[in-house]
Structure 1
Amino acid sequence: MNAAGYKKSPRGWGGHGAKGNSRTIINIDKNRENVKLPDWMRRKIAKIAARKDDFALFEEQAVILLAAECSTFPKQAARIPESLREKLTYQRPDMLDPLERASIAIIAAQVEDLADIFVQHPYEDFFDLKARALAITLEEGGRV
């Protein structure tokens, strides 16, 4: 019997397997000791991660969307600290500080819940709300 008769394991799954998404696991394990986040942020992130199938993908999409919103609405984006806006140009969560990453993920999850309310309003107002929330959270260092 030749090799065609044997069932081969799937290839190219990019780390998906028994442990789930290895990108997230490696990232969390690598930075766990160095991260200083308030307890309420840790609890919120844990709840969000439990609801999402792939938290790393959710976080990446939130960062990409925020970067696009900042370039589309520069007047509202001015509320967000300049250092964060510069980092957002890379559109990569791993370029951000843990507080910035957690704040973006929490606000993105909360905005998903509020999206139906803002259907009647311009998107510019919707982003203004996100920018204000992000600016306040980062300004207070997560103590909000």
Structure 2
Amino acid sequence: MDVTDTAKLLLFSGAASMLFSTFLGFLMLAPMQPWGRQFLKGMNFKQFGAAHLDWLMLGLMQGLVGGLVTVFAVNPPMVAVWAMVLGAWLNPLAYVFRAFGVNAFAFEGAAKQRLAATLGLGSSVAIAYAWVLILAACWNAW
């Protein structure tokens, strides 16, 4: 991929994350409806708010990386680009798991909880790894 395609991927993924978060915002209105309280009984719905904000923030982060790639005219390693995209999409799932009673922030308990925690840790590591490679490419181009 060339610089333009890399930036397009990052910007599109970031914008899609913003749209997805917008739809999640509509879902967050459900518990405020008379029918929604019963339908979502037993769910920790505040965790969807955290996921909503995380997808917004990570969508903006992808857009920032798309801007850096464009302004610095760098083509970072594709592993870094995909780590950023996949990490940004998977990272908020820890809150979604928590909404359903699985604490993805603690590596303990049943296999389901350990898998969720591993996914959360892996996505965080992927984002940090991507930032290091992308900023190093920008620094070298500067």
TM-score (norm 2): 0.29
Query: Is the radius of gyration larger for structure 1 or structure 2?
Result: 1
More helix by share: 2
